[in-house]
Amino acid sequence: MYERKEKDKAGNADAGKKLRSGFSTGACAAAAGTAALGGLLTGEFAKDVAITLPRGERVKFAIERGGSLRNGAYAVVRKDAGDDPDVTHGALILVAIEPLKALEEGAKVNAKVNAKVNYSADWTSIDGEDELALQFCAGAGVGVVTLAGLPLAVGEPAINPAPRKLMATSLLALLRATREGNYDKDSYRRLRVTIAVANGVRLAERTWNGRLGIVGGLSILGTTGIVVPYSCSAWIHSIHRGVDVARANATSSLGAATGRTSEATLMRLLDLPASSIIDMGDFVGGMLKYMRKHPVACLTIGGGFAKMVKLAQGNSDLHSGRSQVDFASLASLARTECTAASVLCAAIAEARSANEVLSMLEDSATATISVREKLLRTLASKARDTACSLLAPTVFPVGIVLVARDGRLLTHLKAH
């Protein structure tokens, strides 16, 4: 569950400024759950609560509100993603804690949570501990897994394993600390944990959840509990999950796009559904290296002229801050492989942008149709060579699509 980020550290206008880290949805949910359980045990709802994150950081979270339910209690935390442009920044995350014993006595889940939707088939507990087990539920705004390939079974609430473990660890620590364990332990051995996100269904439309087969809302994520601003690793992680889902569901043909324009062109050209398109952004290398050990049946990579030139020139990271078009090399290629006129080659060598070169190629006064078509095909062929070298020794069909800024198809080298 990651919103597409137009810039990262290398391209951020405030690159000289120290960016503030934030917290994952999983960490916020664990804090809200701890506050809810604290209120249930003591009858008092704290204004803030501290939990220990997986790497040992002790972090305090403000509690927006909390209260009693018919069978338990709930609390709400507002997510702070720091300076990261995360789609869930500012979202309200509600967690309800209900002892199974109380539920079994006949009461329904309170309507405040709008929860009774999808329950986890398995119980989560800490390895080697039998004091506490949790059953997770997808409340309003939290999705459900419908496709294989994710670290959760089909039908499970989209609450990832790491947040589940963090919740169990935090709640068990609170139970042990509360009045030195002076509570009815049998009543709290089995807890139902419902997580809901305000406006989560609409927020999920701005994420990749639909393509991963997560329907009905957002995912609850976070391995470390910390959100690193403009994290490249977060994007690459999402690319890997997209590959996993495609493989698990026997997707025969997969497209990978650098942006929305090339994505639309790939879908139209190859007649692919959105679920068969990977939004790889600039991270073609991260995607292809993962595919070495997780191959697909067929892959077509699509991108704008500038990014595909960089791929053709051997770059595996296509971001403008981390790789540049070599115009002298591009001019040499035009001369030796495409017999371009010396005037055109000199102009290419002096160009200030790849799109300036494309304008030259599309201008009949500076380039013939044959030179333009041959150079575009040559660049596509070399881009495929780079892709195949990143995949090696794994081999499967790879195609390349070059797209103009306005979405026009420049050339299509079919996968083989």
Give 244-263 pLDDT, tens digit per residue.
Answer: 999 998 888 999 999 889 99
**Which domains are present in the chain?**
22-227 (3.30.2110.10), 251-413 (no CATH)
The SS3 call for residue 164 is helix
Q: Can you tell me the mean pLDDT for 48-76?
A: 95
pLDDT of residue 117: 52
pLDDT in tens, 168-204: 999 999 998 886 666 777 889 899 999 999 999 999 9
CA distance 102 to 314: 62
CA distance 335 to 80: 54
The SS3 call for residue 175 is helix
CB of 89 closer than 8 Å to CB of 81: yes
Amino acid, single-letter form, for residue 303: G
CB of 36 closer than 8 Å to CB of 61: no
**149 HSE (CA, 13 A, CB side):** 22
Helices (H) and strands (E) in the chain, counts: 12, 19
Q: Can you tell me the mean pLDDT for 66-83?
A: 93
Pairing relationship of beta strands 133-138 and 118-119 according to DSSP bridges: antiparallel
Q: Can you tell me the mean pLDDT for 52-78?
A: 95
Residues constituting the chain: 416
Q: Which one-letter DSSP state was computed for residue 224?
A: S
pLDDT in tens, 380-397: 999 999 999 999 999 999
pLDDT of residue 179: 66
CA distance 156 to 90: 26
In this predicted structure, the answer to whether residue 101 has a pLDDT above a threshold of 90 is no
Q: Would you list the DSSP string of 8-73?
A: -TTT-TTTTSPPPPEE-HHHHHHHHHHHHHHHHHHS---SEEEEE-TTS-EEEEE--EEEE-SSSE
pTM of the model: 0.75
